[in-house]
A and B are shown apart, each in its own frame.
Chain A
Amino acid sequence: MSAHAEDAIPRQRHPLISFAARWLLTTNHKEIGTLYLCLSFTLFFIAGALAMGVRAELFAPGLQLVSPNFYNQLVTLHGLVMVFGAVMPAFVGLANWMIPMMIGAPDMALPRLNNFSFWILPFAFTLLLSSLFMEGGAPNFGWTFYAPLSTTYGPPSTDYFILGVHMMGVSSVLGAINIIVTIFNLRAPGMTLMKMPLFVWTWLITAFMLIMVMPVLAGVVTMMLTDRHFGTSFFQAAGGGDPVMFQHIFWFFGHPEVYIMILPGFGIASQIIPTFARKKLFGYKSMVIATSSIAFLSFIVWGHHMFTTGMPLVAQLFFMYATMLIAVPTGVKVFNWVSTMWRGSLTFETPMLFALGFVIMFTIGGFSGLMLALVPADFQYHDTFFVVAHFHYVLYPGAIFSTMAAVYYWLPKWTGHMYDERLGKIHFWTASIAVNLTFFPMHFSGLAGMPRRIVDYPVQFTDFNMVSSIGAGLLGLTQVLFLYIVVKTIRGGEPATDRVWEGAEGLEWTVPSPAPHHTFQTPPDLHGDLVTETSVRAE
Chain B
Amino acid sequence: MIRSRKLKHTALLVLLAVGMFGFAFALVPLYTVFCELTGLNGRTAGQESYAGPVVAASDRQITIQFLAHVGNGMPWEFRPTEHRLQVRPGEMHTTMFYARNRATRTVAGQAVPSVTPGQAALHLHKIECFCFTQQELDAGEEMEMPVAFYVDEDLPKEIRTFSLSYTLFPVDSTPGTKVADN
Q: What residues of chain A have their CB less than 8 Å away from a CB belonging to chain B?
A: 1, 109-110, 152, 173, 176-177, 180-181, 184-186, 211-216, 218-220, 223, 231, 233-234, 237-240, 242, 244-245, 248-249, 252, 310-313, 315
Residues of B contacting A214 in the complex (Cβ-Cβ under 8 angstroms): 17, 20
Contact B39 A177 (CB under 8 A): no
Contact A312 B180 (CB under 8 A): no
Residues of B contacting A244 in the complex (Cβ-Cβ under 8 angstroms): 41
Stretch at the interface among B21-29, B44-52, B143-151: B21-29
Check: B56 CB closer than 8 A to any chain A CB.
no
Task: From known contacts A231-B177, A240-B178, A245-B31, infer whether A181 and B9 are also in contact, taking CB-CB under 8 Å.
Answer: yes
Looking across the interface, which residue of chain A has its beta carbon closest to that of B18?
A215
List the 10 closest pairs (A to B, CB-CB), nearest first. Answer: A219-B24, A238-B169, A215-B21, A215-B20, A240-B180, A216-B24, A177-B13, A181-B9, A173-B17, A245-B31
Contact A220 B24 (CB under 8 A): yes
Q: B24, B28, B177 — which one has the most chain A CB atoms within 10 A of its CB?
A: B24
Residues of B contacting A223 in the complex (Cβ-Cβ under 8 angstroms): 24-25, 28
Check: B108 CB closer than 8 A to any chain A CB.
no
Contact B180 A219 (CB under 8 A): no
Contact B178 A239 (CB under 8 A): yes
Check: B55 CB closer than 8 A to any chain A CB.
no
27 A-B residue contacts at CB 8 Å? A1-B3, A109-B6, A177-B10, A177-B17, A181-B10, A185-B2, A211-B13, A212-B16, A215-B18, A215-B23, A215-B24, A218-B21, A219-B20, A219-B27, A220-B24, A223-B25, A223-B28, A231-B176, A231-B177, A237-B112, A237-B114, A239-B177, A239-B178, A239-B180, A242-B35, A248-B31, A249-B24
Residues of A contacting B10 in the complex (Cβ-Cβ under 8 angstroms): 110, 177, 181
Contact A310 B117 (CB under 8 A): yes
Indicate the size class of the contact surface on chain B. Answer: 35 or more
A258 to B138, CA, bound (A): 53
- Number of residue pairs A-B, CB distance < 8 angstroms: 114
Task: From known contacts A110-B10, A180-B9, infer whether A211 and B71 are also in contact, taking CB-CB under 8 Å.
Answer: no
Which residues 108-144 of B sit at the A interface, judged by CB distance below 8 A? 110, 112, 114, 116-119
Check: B101 CB closer than 8 A to any chain A CB.
no
Residues of B contacting A313 in the complex (Cβ-Cβ under 8 angstroms): 119, 158
A239 to B174, CA, bound (A): 13
Contact B40 A315 (CB under 8 A): yes
Q: Which residue of the partner chain, among A110, A184, A211, A242, contacts B16 with CB atoms under 8 Å?
A: A211
A212 to B18, CA, bound (A): 9
